[in-house]
């Protein structure tokens, strides 16, 4: 790898490689123009982020295969155990469960300052990811205690707002059912539509990020499987919007949950029901 490809200060690069191990040529370019070092059982990453720098540590999930809702709920429980540490399921980080922390250093910091900050922060990230088993147990207990008979949370949805949501049905359906669209082209188009849907929900007041929606993912329609056969035919307008809020909020904990929701049968089932209710 050429050193000109990443955007880390020389002192940060030297300190990072000294702590993480390896050389610049052995390290890989991270997805956000930093460096990542694969240590087999974990990956260490240093990269620029919004005017500062972030150190990440990525490890495997304790589950072999996990449904989208379970993944969000597990990461949420792990995050609750580790205040001050950003934890999420991220792609292109070597391993799926990623703990991150910002480094309060400037480009002018010395190699010694970088090394001290990286060493201390890495210890924090390691301690956080060591709690995955505890988070998994908390998740299992919470799931066991969740009562499906609990009432759904509610959102007031006017007829006009419902028609606005239903209006996205044809656009999603035309892309997802077009046999001529494949792979990345289809994905990029539905993700753009998803972004527009989220903008509409926010502008209309239906998106309510100040409320905690993640427990909705425990409900029987959402918790199991990979959303290939979801049935929303009996949901109300309020419940449809609640599902959208839960999925969008879940994106804080898993980068792939909205991708799965928008690129498959789930969004079609939800919008078909919205269209039916809108009349």
Going along the chain from its start, the domains and CATH numbers come out as: 3-145 (3.30.1460), 159-278 (no CATH)
Q: What is the mean pLDDT of residues 98-106?
A: 96
The gap from C-alpha 197 to its chain's centroid, in whole angstroms, comes to 18
Question: Average per-residue pLDDT in the chain?
Answer: 93
The gap from C-alpha 123 to its chain's centroid, in whole angstroms, comes to 23
- Given a contact cutoff of 8 angstroms between Cβ atoms, the answer to whether 217 and 227 are in contact is no
Q: What is the mean pLDDT of residues 217-244?
A: 92
Q: How far apart are the first and last CA of the chain?
A: 57
pLDDT digits (tens, 9 = 90+) for 239-259: 999 999 999 999 999 999 999
Q: What is the pLDDT of residue 147?
A: 55
Q: Report the DSSP beta bridge partners of residue 43.
A: 38, 58
Residue 269 has pLDDT above 90, yes or no: yes
Q: Which one-letter DSSP state was computed for residue 59?
A: E
For every residue of 85-105, DSSP letters joined together read SEEEE-SSSSSSEEEEEEE--
Q: Which one-letter DSSP state was computed for residue 254?
A: B
Residue 2 has pLDDT above 70, yes or no: no
- pLDDT interval class at 150 (50, 70, 90): confident
Residues with Cβ within 8 Å of residue 85, at least 6 apart in sequence = 79, 99, 100, 101, 124, 125, 128
Residues with Cβ within 8 Å of residue 80, at least 6 apart in sequence = 135, 138
Gap between the Cα atoms of 155 and 200, Å rounded: 15
CA distances from 213 to 181, 251, 259 (A): 33, 12, 18
Q: Which of 26, 28, 21 is nearest to 5 (CA)?
A: 28
Residue 261 has pLDDT above 90, yes or no: yes
Sign of CA dihedral 45, 38, 260, 77: negative
Over pLDDT 70: what percentage of the chain? Answer: 96
- pLDDT interval class at 3 (50, 70, 90): very low
**Least confident stretch, 71-75, 105-109, 179-183, 214-218:** 179-183
pLDDT digits (tens, 9 = 90+) for 4-47: 589 999 999 999 999 999 888 889 999 999 999 999 999 999 99
Residue 148 has pLDDT above 60, yes or no: no
Gap between the Cα atoms of 132 and 72, Å rounded: 13
What's the alpha-carbon Rg for the chain, to the nearest Å?
A: 21
């Amino acid at each position: 790898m050429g050193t000109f490809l990443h955007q880390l200060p020389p002192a940060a690069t030297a300190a990072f490689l000294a702590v993480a191990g390896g050389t610049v040529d052995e390290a890989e370019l991270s997805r956000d123009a930093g460096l990542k070092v694969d240590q087999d059982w974990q990956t260490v990453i240093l990269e620029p982020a919004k005017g500062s720098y972030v150190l990440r540590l990525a490890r495997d999930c304790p589950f072999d295969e996990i449904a989208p809702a379970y993944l969000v709920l597990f990461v949420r429980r792990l995050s609750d155990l580790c205040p001050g540490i950003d934890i999420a399921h991220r792609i292109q980080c070597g391993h799926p469960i990623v703990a991150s922390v910002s480094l309060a250093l400037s480009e002018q910091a010395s190699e010694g300052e970088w090394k001290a900050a990286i060493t201390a922060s890495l210890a924090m990230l390691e301690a956080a990811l060591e709690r995955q088993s505890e988070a998994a147990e908390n998740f299992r207990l919470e799931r066991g205690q969740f009562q499906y008979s609990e009432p759904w949370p509610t959102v007031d949805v006017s007829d006009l707002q419902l028609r606005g949501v239903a209006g996205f049905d044809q656009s999603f359906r035309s892309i997802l059912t077009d046999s001529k669209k494949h792979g990345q082209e289809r994905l990029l188009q539905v993700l753009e539509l998803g972004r527009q849907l989220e903008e509409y929900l926010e502008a209309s007041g239906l998106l309510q990020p100040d409320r905690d929606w993640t427990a909705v993912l425990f409900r029987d329609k959402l918790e199991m499987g990979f959303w290939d056969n979801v049935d929303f035919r009996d949901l109300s307008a309020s419940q449809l919007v609640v599902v959208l809020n839960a999925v969008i909020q879940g994106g804080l904990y898993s980068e792939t949950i909205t991708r799965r929701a928008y690129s498959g049968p789930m969004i079609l089932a939800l919008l078909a029901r919205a269209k039916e209710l809108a009349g």
